[in-house]
Every structure is written in structure tokens, then in C-alpha cells.
Structure 1
Amino acid sequence: MTTQSAGAADPPVIELRNVSKTFGEVRSLTGVNFAVNHGEIVGLLGDNGAGKSTLVKIVMGFYRPDSGGEIYFQGRRIDDWSVARARSLGIETVYQERALSEKQPIWRNMFMGREPRTRFGLLDVKRMRSESARLMSEHMGFTSAAVHPDNVVTTMSGGEKQGVAITRALYFDAELVILDEPTMGLSLSETKKTLDFVSGIKKAGKSAIFIDHNIFHVYPIVDRLYVLDRGKVAGVYAKSEITMDELIDRLYRVARSGSMDGP
């Protein structure tokens, strides 16, 4: 399997080679090869128990692979992999719960845990408000005067909340944004808005992993797709090489036989 897309001059942003993960007697992943290239959105599909969560938690640094597995970031092997190491390299996660403080204004959420300070050591509230206003206009598409940085997050729609979380990740120079089922529980209009925000990640020249059960949400937005089944990679496809109907058919094959090429 080739982890580098055709014509890609640079090494992948993140690459996992021969990664396995065992918990006691349970093998969650077996010999997984996985990569995300620069400016690429990669979809990760699979049923419950396929190994998606374990794979993503390895990318995030929560788990380290078993002996023999290797992790590379922008072509350099990283041995001291951890949450802190992953985050320092620019890996950010947007959870389905959105991890926002609902009762706080947008500007507080945008800078939560990374608040800029004045030369006197005080919170630079003026800067946070002005930067939030700029981000809301330039990256989130809010142009109405009724929507401003002092709006409390709880008043926003689900799609708008996802936009805050994604914009926050990009503002802090994320190289790779992990999207954990970002459309779960959203209405059709909110889902469309969230997918527009996901497209903005690529426009910003960054990369993303899009994890979801809903192929109809994943397929239109990604460049490549990985399908996991029982801890193994059952298939890797460039979207340009497979139609939605063909992919659905092959997913049925995985469900029946555990192989994309099954009978």
C-alpha cells in the first residue's frame, strides 16, 4: 500500500507503520499502516469495534503502539509519543461533544487555556475580543452585527459550535485536525455548515482526519478513505478512484467477509 498520494512532494504529516495495539488478551489493532498527507482530508470508516477509536487515540498520543509499530511526523520518526508531544507538533482534536464551555462567550471559548496576556500579566481581553471578531468574520462567515464575540455559546446552533471548535484549532496552528463524528446529532442545515467548516481546513492548507459512521457525510468532503474492520485496514481508496455506490458495495463486503475483495 502506498501511503503517499500521487504527486505529493513532502512526506505525510502523520504516518503510522505496522502499528498494533493490544489490551490484555484483546488485539485492537493489527499491523495498521495509515497516513495523512499535507492539505488532505482523510476519512476513517468502520463499524463499532473496528478499531477507529484506538487508531485515533494513538495519533493523539493517548496510546503508544505495541513494540514494532512506528510513528512518523512530517517524515521524522517520533519515539517519545504522548499527548503533549502530539499537541506540541500541531495535532488538535474536535470532539463530537465539541468540548466548549456553553455558558461562556465565544471569545472565552476561542482562547480557553491559551489566553494572551498584557505586559502586566493580565488577560488581554481586548485582543481576544478583536481576534474572535476577525475569525468569526473571515473563517466562520458571520457577517451579521447580531453575532458578536460576546454571544454566549449556548445560543449557537450545533453547526456553529463546531465552527468555533474548528476555527480555534486552526488559529493555534494545528497541522492536523482530528474530527470525531462532528455531524452527530446535527440537523441537515447544521451538518452542511459543519462540512463547510471542514472544507475550510483544507483551504487553510492544513490536514484532517474525519471519523464517522455516515458515509454520506464523509464521502463528499474527503480526498481518501480508510476502512477499518476488526483492527485491520480492509481498504484504502482515493475518492477519485471509487464512486459512492462502489464504496457502499465494498463496505457491505467488509461487513459480510472482513475483506473488501470478499465474495
Structure 2
Amino acid sequence: MMEQEIKPLAADAPNVLEVSHISKSFGAVTALVDVSLKVKRGEVLALVGDNGAGKSTLIKILSGFHQPDTGKILSNGEETRFASPRDARARGIETVYQDLALIGDLSIYHNMFLGREQRKRFLGLNLLDNKKMRTLSRTYLDTLGIHIPDVNNTVDLLSGGQRQCVAVARSIYSSPSILILDEPLAALGVRESAHVLGLIQNLRRQREVSVIMIVHNYNQIFEVCDRINFLHAGEIVLDASTSETTEEELIRVVKSGLGKNAISAAASAAEGRATLPHH
């Protein structure tokens, strides 16, 4: 069966999240400088940058763990403030961190419903409804295109890629509007990465959940992402569509070590050279 073609993001797709002029410092250390970011409904946005660039701080602000010093956040056009992770989740933002928060010796279906277990009454007792959780887990994993033969197996029997997919599926089950993935491909092999990339591609194909993913492999960015934001020294120095740039151009910007103003100046100079008459 041929995979359904991935349609371009609609030009009039609304912004589900906007970050405007966010800054954040920890004592004498400035983590973010005047960061503005937007995510459209159904868009997959890559967040890239070196260690210490501010990526983790930014996603922790979006997840409600940190509050910005300046700037504002708009959720579906409405200004909001995430005072806690619970606030962010109430606004439809789910985050999957690198540790995944899965319990290895529990079954896959128990992990899928961790913290929101399905229950039933039997002879006056409040019991786990294991049958319902198994059925729902199977249905949901199949719907997302996650191929795991037996949801009764414990998580510690899964590959790294399968575990990542289960963690993502658990977050999507709560029907978020935005899914943040903190380096979902870190420490995964080629085959395991393919599991996760396939899941992200499925989400992109459906265009219902927006995804922000921190990623280091630039080739993978151009495989599954619609747009790139490159963070350098706490500021976004590049905001580009993957359809209008190349991996080589991204690598050139990353290696330049330049800030926003320097990159703009370099681009203007290059444009000026291109328009000079040839003799």
C-alpha cells in the first residue's frame, strides 16, 4: 500500500502558539534574548542549535516549568501565562522529554494509561479495567501506525525507538494541540530512528497536531519538518521553511557562529555582490 502524500501546510493555517520577545536569565547567565516564535496548526517545527543555545530553556517555558522575564505567550491568539506544567497541559501542550517517564517492568498498555488508569466497579470494588486499557492501547497504536505486536509485553522488552513511540502515543492520547519532543532521536540507531520519524511523518500527514522537536541530525529535519528555527546564544538567528532552504545552507549558518545581525549583514552583502555588473 502506497503512503498518502504529505500535503504542504495550508497558507492560511492559524497560529496555535506565538511567543513574542521572550527573554530569560538565571542570575548573571542570560539564556534567552528577545525570542519570538510561532507554530501553525499541523506544522512540524525543528528547533536546532548548539548545546547552551537556549533550546531547553525555551521548551521549559513553553511547558510551564519556567516563566519568562519579559515577553508574552499567545495560545490560539489569546495571551496566556503558564504558571506550571499543568497550565501548559490545560492549554493543549504536551512534552516528551528524553527520559520518557516510562516504567520498564510495567506492560505497554499500563504505561499508555499511567496516571489516568481506566477503572470499573465490580462487587463494590474499584478495579483497574485492564481489558479496556488493552483494547484502547491496541487501537490507538494501530491508528498512529506504531507497530508493536503485543501490548501485554513490558516496556523493557521494546527497542529504544519503540519506547519513544509509546511515550509519544501516550502524550497524543490526551489530545494535545502541540507536542514538544525533546531530542526524540537521541541515542537511537538508524532502524529505531525510522520508527520515530515514521510516527512524526504520520502526524504531519494528518495535520492535526503541531510538533516542535529539538533535533541535531539536519538530514532528518528536511525529512519530516516544515520549518526550522535555529537558536544561537539565546536568540533565533534563522527562521526558514525547509522547502526554501537546504541542508547545506543550514550547516553554513550553524558553522558561521554568527548572530542574527551578522547573518543579515552577510546575506545583504552576498545579495549586493550578486547584483554588481560583470565586466
Do the two structures share a fold, i.e. TM-score over 0.5?
Answer: yes
| Distance in 1 of aligned mates of 2:40 and 2:21 | 18
Is residue 246 of structure 2 the alignment partner of residue 243 of structure 1? yes
CA gap of 1:6–1:131, structure 2 versus 1, over 3 A, is closer
Q: Which of these residues, 139, 160, 167, is aligned with residue 144 of structure 2?
A: 139
Contact 2:54 2:233 in 1 (8 A): yes
Is residue 78 of structure 2 the alignment partner of residue 76 of structure 1? yes
| Distance in 2 of aligned mates of 1:80 and 1:206 | 20
Match of 2:272 in 1: none
Is residue 180 of structure 2 the alignment partner of residue 175 of structure 1? no
How far 1:187 moved relative to its partner?
Answer: 0.8
SS of structure 1 residue aligned to 2:99: coil
Larger radius of gyration: 2
Structure 1, residues 154-201: CA drift from partner, whole Å, max 9, x if none? 111111111111111111101111111111111111111111111122
CA gap of 1:262–1:185, structure 2 versus 1, over 3 A, is farther
Equivalences for 1:86-97 in 2 at 5 Å?
Answer: 86-97=88-99
Match of 2:152 in 1: 150
CA gap of 1:139–1:6, structure 2 versus 1, over 3 A, is closer
Match of 1:36 in 2: 39
Match of 1:8 in 2: 12
Structure 2 runs not aligned, ≥5 long: 1-8, 267-279
Letter in 1 for 2:253: R
Match of 1:201 in 2: 203
Q: Which of these residues, 152, 160, 163, is aligned with residue 161 of structure 1?
A: 163
Match of 2:269 in 1: none
Letter in 2 for 1:226: N
CA gap of 1:261–1:251, structure 2 versus 1, over 3 A, is farther
SS of structure 2 residue aligned to 1:17: strand
Is residue 131 of structure 2 the alignment partner of residue 129 of structure 1? no
| Distance in 1 of aligned mates of 2:174 and 2:198 | 20
Letter in 2 for 1:30: V
How far 1:262 moved relative to its partner?
Answer: 5.8
Q: Which of these residues, 223, 226, 229, is aligned with residue 226 of structure 2?
A: 223
| Distance in 1 of aligned mates of 2:20 and 2:120 | 44
How far 1:126 moved relative to its partner?
Answer: 1.3
How far 1:80 moved relative to its partner?
Answer: 5.0
How far 1:219 moved relative to its partner?
Answer: 2.5
Q: Which of these residues, 49, 69, 89, is aligned with residue 66 of structure 1?
A: 69
Letter in 2 for 1:98: L
How far 1:213 moved relative to its partner?
Answer: 2.1
Contact 1:251 1:260 in 2 (8 A): no
| Distance in 2 of aligned mates of 1:169 and 1:218 | 22
| Distance in 2 of aligned mates of 1:127 and 1:223 | 37
CA gap of 1:213–1:260, structure 2 versus 1, over 3 A, is farther
Contact 1:210 1:218 in 2 (8 A): no
How far 1:9 moved relative to its partner?
Answer: 4.3
Letter in 1 for 2:12: A
| Distance in 1 of aligned mates of 2:223 and 2:264 | 23
Give % identity: 38
Count of residues paired in the alignment:
253
SS of structure 1 residue aligned to 2:109: helix
Structure 1 runs not aligned, ≥5 long: none
